[in-house]
Amino acid sequence: MECLDEKLKGLSIARRSRPEEPTYLLHVALQPTSLLAVSCSNFTIHLHNKDTLNLVGEYQGHSGPLCGVTFAHSSPDLLYSGSADGTVRGWDVRRPGTESVQMFKSDPSHSYCSFDLSCSDTLLCAGTEQVNDEDSFLVFWDVRKPGGGLLGVYSESHSDDITQVCFHPRDKDRLASGSTDGLVNVFDLSRGAEEEALLATCNSDSSAGSVCWSGADYTQLLCLSHDEGLHLWDLGQLDTDEPLTIFSTSDARSLTPLADGGGVDYLVGGRWLEEAQKLLVVGGKNSGDLHLMECDDKGLRLLRNLEGGHSSTVRCFLWDATGEALVTGGEDAQLLLWKPGGEELTTGKRESMKSQSALRLKSRPHKKHGYQRQKKAT
Q: What's the pLDDT score for residue 345? A: 57
**Residue 179 to residue 182: CA distance in whole angstroms:** 6
Question: Is 120 contained in some domain?
Answer: yes
**Residue 314 to residue 326: CA distance in whole angstroms:** 13
The percent of residues above 70 in pLDDT, for the chain, comes to: 90
pLDDT, tens digit (0-9, with 9 covering 90-100), for 283-300: 999 999 999 999 999 999
| CATH number of domain containing 142 | 2.130.10.10
Its pTM stands at 0.89
Alpha-carbon dihedral sign for residues 203, 206, 212, 215: negative
What are the helix and strand counts (H, E) for the chain? Answer: 3, 28
If phi > 0 it is left, if psi is from -120 to 50 it is alpha, else beta; for residue 192 that is left
Q: Are 70 and 90 in contact (CB under 8 A)?
A: no
356 band by pLDDT with thresholds 50, 70 and 90: very low
Q: Alpha-carbon Rg of the chain, whole angstroms? A: 19
351 band by pLDDT with thresholds 50, 70 and 90: very low
Q: Are 293 and 308 in contact (CB under 8 A)?
A: no
Question: Is 288 contained in some domain?
Answer: no
Q: What's the pLDDT score for residue 164? A: 98
Question: Is 92 contained in some domain?
Answer: yes
- Residue 355: helix, strand or coil by DSSP? helix
- Residue 356: helix, strand or coil by DSSP? helix
* Domain around 121: 25-264+316-322
Strands 11-17 and 87-92, sheet pairing: unpaired
Question: Is 304 contained in some domain?
Answer: no
Question: Is 360 contained in some domain?
Answer: no
Question: Is 29 contained in some domain?
Answer: yes
Domains contained in the chain, number: 1
Question: Is 307 contained in some domain?
Answer: no
Q: What 8-state DSSP symbol labels residue 190?
A: G
CB count in 10 Å sphere of residue 325: 21
Question: Is 247 contained in some domain?
Answer: yes
- Residue 128: helix, strand or coil by DSSP? strand
Q: What's the pLDDT score for residue 2? A: 60
Q: Are 137 and 150 in contact (CB under 8 A)?
A: no
